[in-house]
Chain A
Amino acid sequence: MSTDTIVRLPDQATARIPKVNFLSKENGLLSWLLTGDHKRIATLYLISITFFFAVGGALAGLIRLELLTPQSDLMAADTYNKVFTMHGVIMVFLFLVPSVPATLGNFLMPMMIGAKDLALPKVNLLSWYLYIIAGIMMLFTMATGGVDTGWTFTVPLSTHFVNTNVITAGLAVFVAGFSSVFTGLNFIVTIHKMRAPGMTWFRLPLFVWSNYAASILMVLGTPVLAITLVLVVLERGFGIGVFDPAKGGDPILFQHLFWFYSHPAVYIMILPGMGVISEVVSTFSRKRVFGYTAVAFSSVAIAVFAFFVWEHHMFIMGVSNYSTLVFSLLTMLVAVPSAIKIFNWSFTLYKGSITFETPMLYAFGFMGLFTIGGLTGVFLASTGTDIHLTETYFIVAHFHFVMVGGMLMAFLSGIHFWWPKWTGRMYPEKISQLAALMTFIGFNFTFFPQFILGTLGMPRRYAAYPPEFQVLNVFSTAGATILGIGYLLPILYLTWSLKYGEIAGSNPWQATGLEWQTQSPPLTENFPEIPIVDHDAYDYEWLERKEKEVTSVG
């Protein structure tokens, strides 16, 4: 075991958490609620995001329970409609979009570039408060009857045909959108203006590149969602008519406006996760990422192309056949950079020195599952097959593969990887490897049958379904049970590790990033003195040459 792991911990008998760190610096509720420290804000985000993930996950459990039987027997159809809508809204806007950027991004990015904090700490805190307000509004929406329009708020259903809390839900998403915009804005400014001396663009870790690309999408795309929601609220409240054919409006206009944001949104969700994978794969192969420049440029390419493919969500909606040619072609193009990244990560393993700690297990899971998810995206990008597969469970399976099999695995990989840096303690390795394996198995059992269901024609958002689809649905629910346990375990053992985990020291993974060259948990100001960077990212030779260990304070 000792040669199969790269973990190098300090002698547990004498090791202590450094007395002065960002967690212990000040005490009291106000010191947390009024903090400007990006690491404290990241911690606040981590707790709130985990809470909303649990809510969204519980809703998912309800969905799968209902779908065990063909009839609508667990809950009324209206309730089921509310459950899947809230599951989608919470998971997309309150979990996936902020997850890696607001937690890991906030925590790590300044350290990775050698800065003391983000460029605009107060705006960062504002972001978190906006997120909390959005979360409270969302909980209020749920408590007062929920919303049942689907997370896509399709008009005219949402404006004229439901009695549920569309306006509160829409406004909650509006506020969450601003939280996202400010985070992205902060990141862009920080990366441009606050890099340490010597940290050129092409010495940046790929995690920073990915977050930069995602931030561009956040900043440019989210405002369009905001104005779309404003128009929906106005249409619903005052009947202004922009989406109402009886008044000369056009419901397809809503589709264009909504998807103009919501497609870049999926790249906002995945790009930071890809950044995590770059870091993890490099560390656990002891090698620089293969094709650094290609991966960096792929991130930016995905961000740029993301804005030009939105109509692929509308191929069967009566849009001009010729327009579908354009968007189908562009969608094929946007698939290529992701493929490039997968191959680059695979080749990072070549002639490396690989170990299989938990973050690496999640990374492997990501690479396999994201490949499947991404390839099935191509099935949908091709207009011919999209006709048959769209609006079925094939779509549900596709986006869960990339979002859960991809993004969520990357998030967990990152949480485990940087947990020692964040808390000063290691998580328990054996049980976490078990949890990783459980999520992988549970995930495949849950979502792979859904590809088949989709091909068979089972539509999505169905509370009741024809009996011939039952067997696959039961399979799916069984998998979901395993998956649920797999996600519950980290919450439990990570909390446990806060008190009982092994002391990690500053660099248990022997990684190369700047964040690993300072104590765990870090000082409030991150570094005792601003580092001067003279080496590339993932420079393991530099690491070897480094004699001086960064000592902890106190």
Chain B
Amino acid sequence: MDHISPVIWQYLVKWMTNLPLFPPEASKIAPQMDALYYFMVLVSLIGLTIVVLLLVSFSILYSRKRHPVAVQIEGSTLLEATWTIIPLGLFLIMFVWGSLIYFRVYTPPANAMNIYVVGKQWMWKAEHPGGQHEIDALHIPVNKPIQITLISQDVFHSFSIPAFRVKREAIPGRYTNVWFEATQVGTYHIFCTQYCGTNHSAMIGQVVVMSPEDYQKWLAESTSGASLAQNGERLFASLSCNACHNGRPDARGPSLANVYGSNLTLASGQTAHVDEAYLREAILNPSDHVTQGFTPIMPTYQGQISEDGVISLVEYIKSLNSNYRVDQTLNTTALLPESEGKATTATPKTAAPSAKQGMVKQ
């Protein structure tokens, strides 16, 4: 929006948001989308005006009183061409412009901070990588790109933040994602916009955009003690994943060090890019995702682990950056230190700063 004077733009926005016609523009993409929207409104107004003018003026000029005898006209190829090509041209501009915005919204940048949001009847559960959990709320820092990885635990939901102009369906069985960068501190609505049953209209929340200092404060006081990756590590042990995925040369399962982000060759010969969706699928449908050189012996964890558990595991696997690290996990216990009679064999040197194995929900 460099070519419209920022002053005029601010004035327009202020006027628009005080007269409740538009939600606040609280993200980086919002003004871009609004610009297209204004263009469309303008084109529609002009189009409608033309049609109404034609209808009204012809009705007056050629009413039966003024023009009692009609003149039979076959048509006009020139006019047909005009009103085919001009609307088509305008629509194509909107198509290109809109597609650019669409791709921008659904292509998260690599440096975006990832927050998982699980939708379920009838609440939104947000899971921050540091282990903070929220229900029907989302605290985020201003001016930082945030990616939301969405999934549903039951039916279709749709995660919508009108002030950011973003929306994405939360689907059972697969991850979807969307990203945004909040530009204005404040509190804005989160809605569920896909009808999901009885309390669909109660599945609303608030996104709280905070200054960086406030955000750090919030992080510190809301932590549950263990990050998602730490929780994932304990799940990894309790589900005995490390029986096969232990990073040793004779292991029955491939080492997971640095697997996230890599391009894996599968047993079928195809290559797969390992992202969150792949990891989730590999845990729940392992027979379809066998790494080359290994056999399909991994049992499925479908039904044994919740979506929250899968998210923790995925975050944990993302954090594994060396074979040594993988090896360490053999020492990870699933139990809290207090509940064991003896001390744990070795203290895992985790990547995260505090190793407090506090209360963490699975």
Contacts and interface: CB of A to CB of B under 8 A. Distances in A.
A binds B: yes
Interface of A: 3-6, 72, 77-78, 81, 148-150, 154, 156-157, 160-162, 245-246, 248, 250-252, 285-288, 290-294, 315-318, 321, 324-325, 328-329, 332-333, 335-336, 339-340, 342-344, 346-347, 349-356, 364, 367-368, 371-372, 375-376, 378-379, 381-388, 390-392, 452, 455-457, 459-466, 468, 471-472, 540-541
A384 B54 contact: no
Contacts of B65: 3-4
A354 B54 CA distance: 13
23 contacts: A148-B197, A156-B154, A287-B73, A288-B73, A291-B80, A294-B75, A336-B87, A346-B51, A347-B79, A350-B58, A351-B71, A352-B71, A354-B62, A355-B63, A371-B51, A379-B44, A387-B102, A455-B21, A456-B23, A459-B160, A459-B193, A462-B201, A540-B70
Nearest to A471: B20
Contacts of B224: none
A162 B197 contact: yes
B64 A154 contact: no
Does more than half of chain A's interface fall in helix, strand or loop, or is it mixed?
helix
Given A157-B197, A328-B99, A336-B87, A456 B173 contact: no
Interface in B44-102: 44, 47-48, 51-52, 54-55, 58-59, 62-65, 67-76, 79-80, 83-84, 87-88, 91-92, 94-95, 97-102
B309 to A, nearest CB: 15
Contact of A353 (B23, B47, B70): B70
Contacts of B95: 328-329, 332, 381-382
A372 B48 contact: yes
B204 interface: yes
B223 interface: no
A353 B65 CA distance: 8
Interface string B32-49: 010011001001100110
Contacts of B88: 332-333, 336
Interface in B182-198: 189, 191-198
A348 B23 CA distance: 42
A368 B51 contact: yes
B21 A157 contact: no
Nearest to A456: B23
Name, among A252, A291, A466, the residue most crowded by chain B CB atoms within 10 Å (CB to CB).
A291
Name, among A77, A150, A352, A364, the residue most crowded by chain B CB atoms within 10 Å (CB to CB).
A352
Contacts of A386: 98, 102
Interface string B189-231: 1011111111111101000000000000000000000000000
A462 B195 CA distance: 8
B264 interface: no
B67 A157 contact: no
B166 A387 contact: yes
Given A287-B70, A352-B67, A336 B201 contact: no
Contacts of A324: 99, 102
A187 to B, nearest CB: 26
A14 B80 CA distance: 48
A317 B107 CA distance: 14
A384 B302 contact: no
A318 B71 contact: no
A285 B70 contact: yes
Interface in B113-161: 121, 154-156, 158, 160
Given A251-B173, A459-B191, A384 B102 contact: yes
Name, among A288, A367, A459, A464, the residue most crowded by chain B CB atoms within 10 Å (CB to CB).
A459
Given A150-B195, A154-B195, A461-B195, 6 more contacts: A81-B195, A335-B87, A347-B73, A351-B70, A372-B44, A464-B202
Contact of B162 (A78, A364, A388, A541): A388
A379 B40 contact: yes
B245 interface: no
B303 interface: yes
Name, among A245, A368, A371, A457, the residue most crowded by chain B CB atoms within 10 Å (CB to CB).
A457
B199 A382 contact: no
B168 interface: yes
Given A291-B80, A343-B83, A387 B176 contact: no
A383 B64 contact: no
B169 interface: yes
B103 interface: yes
B22 interface: yes
B28 interface: no
Name, among B33, B59, B95, B154, the residue most crowded by chain A CB atoms within 10 Å (CB to CB).
B95
Contacts of B191: 457, 459
A271 to B, nearest CB: 19
Nearest to B67: A353
Contacts of B67: 351-354
B167 interface: yes
B23 A457 contact: yes
Contact of A318 (B68, B94, B100, B174): B174
Nearest to A78: B198
Name, among B44, B67, B69, B195, the residue most crowded by chain A CB atoms within 10 Å (CB to CB).
B195
A383 B72 contact: no
Contact of B155 (A156, A391, A540): A156
A342 B192 CA distance: 37
B85 to A, nearest CB: 9
Q: Which 6 A-B pairs have the closest CB atoms?
A: A245-B173, A457-B162, A382-B98, A384-B101, A384-B98, A291-B75
Contacts of A321: 102-103, 106-107
A282 B191 CA distance: 48
B167 A384 contact: no
A379 B69 contact: no
A339 B87 contact: yes
Contacts of B202: 77, 464
B55 A367 contact: yes
B237 interface: no
Given A385-B36, A457-B162, A288 B200 contact: no
